[in-house]
Amino acid sequence: MMNRRGFVLALTSGMVALVLVVGSVLADELLGVITKVDVDAKTLTVVEKESGKEIKVKVTDKTEEVTRKGGTRKVDLDKLEKRLEKVLDSGEKGISTKITHEDGVASKIQNTMKKKSGQ
């Protein structure tokens, strides 16, 4: 009797682990450069690093931005737009980023800019 309970428990635990792994694999990662922020439509235009295609990604209230210290916070599109303007004014193409999304809806945004060597 005890042997069956252990088997059922192991089988159930394995199925739960499988569901969690498959769920995390379904989300896509997009590496590229944010070139436009549309605050009214809550969308980001990202040029993909590999193909150079423009991809529009929707931002929701659940979308999180990863901070420099590794924490997360809600995305503030107004601040992101101002930061993008500064970057574009300095002559760069945009903000380098990694976006985790599913069906064009972003769940996590992480900046991938490297620190300059002089700082």
Domains and CATH numbers, the chain: 28-111 (2.40.50)
Q: What is the pLDDT of residue 118?
A: 46
Q: Please, what are the averages of pLDDT over each run of 10 residues along the chain (119 residues)? A: 77 81 67 91 90 90 86 89 90 89 87 58
Report pLDDT for 23.
58
pLDDT of residue 8: 86
CA–CA dist 113, 119 (Å, integer): 13
84 contacts 75 by C-beta, under 8 angstroms: no
First-to-last CA distance in the chain?
A: 66
